[in-house]
Chains A and B, each alone.
Chain A
Amino acid sequence: NAGVTQTPKFQVLKTGQSMTLQCAQDMNHEYMSWYRQDPGMGLRLIHYSVGAGITDQGEVPNGYNVSRSTTEDFPLRLLSAAPSQTSVYFCASSRFSEQFFGPGTRLTVL
C-alpha cells in the first residue's frame, strides 16, 4: 500500500491564482481530512469528509473548496490564493481510531 499520497510536494503561487492540491489513499478509508500547519502551531482542520459525496467544514474553511467523488481521492482547491494561505498542507485518512497523514504540500503564495 502507498498509504496517503499528496501532490505536489512544493508549490509557489502568485496572489489570485488558483490551484488544486491532490490527495489520494489506497486503504479504502471512509474518513479523509485536510489540515494546514503554520509555523509554531499545531495542525488546524480545513475540511473533512466522512465518505464519498459527503464533505463538511472544519475550523478554517474560508478560501478553500473540497469535493469527494470517490473513496480514494479528496482534492483541496484554492480558488484565489492569498499570502495568508502560505502554509504546509497535510491530508489524512482514517478508519476507526487511527489517522494516517500524507507527506504534506508546502505552499507559498507571493
Chain B
Amino acid sequence: ELKVEQNPLFLSMQEGKNYTIYCNYSTTSDRLYWYRQDPGKSLESLFVLLSNGAVKQEGRLMASLDTKARLSTLHITAAVHDLSATYFCAVLRGETSGSRLTFGEGTQLTVNP
C-alpha cells in the first residue's frame, strides 16, 4: 500500500525566512505533484516532478525529487504572507496516467509579518 507522509504538518514562520517541507513516500513512483490549497478553495497545481533529480522553481518555491530516497522537498525562500496556505504532495500510483494519486496529509503554512 502506498503511503505518503509530509512533515511538518503545521509550520509557522516569519516573513523573510527560509524553510523546507518534506514529502516521503513508501513505494516506487516516478511522478510527484505539489499542490497549494487556500481555505475553502480547490487545489492549485504548483509542480509536477517527472524524474529522479528533477528540480523546478517558481517564484519563492522550489521543488525537487529524489526517487531513490523516495523523497521530495518543497523549499520556501524568503517567505511572504501571500504564501500562507496548505501545501499537499501527491504521488502517482504506479502507472503513467494521472488518474490515481495518493496524497499526503498536507502542511498548513502560516507566514507571519
Contacts and interface: CB of A to CB of B under 8 A. Distances in A.
Contacts, number: 64
B64 to A, nearest CB: 17
Nearest to B93: A45
A31 B99 contact: yes
A64 interface: no
Given A94-B97, A101-B42, A103-B42, A43 B88 contact: yes
A35 B48 CA distance: 19
Interface SS of chain A? strand
Nearest to B35: A101
Given A90-B43, A99-B45, A101-B43, A45 B100 contact: yes
Contact of A97 (B98, B100, B104): B98
Contact of A102 (B31, B33, B42, B88): B42
- Could you say which interface size class chain A belongs to? 20 to 34
B26 to A, nearest CB: 14
Given A33-B99, A33-B101, A103-B42, 11 more contacts: A44-B103, A45-B100, A48-B100, A59-B102, A94-B98, A95-B98, A98-B98, A99-B98, A99-B101, A104-B41, A104-B42
Interface of B: 4, 31, 33, 41-43, 45, 48, 50, 88, 90, 97-106
The 4 closest A-B pairs by CB, nearest first: A42-B103, A94-B98, A31-B99, A101-B43
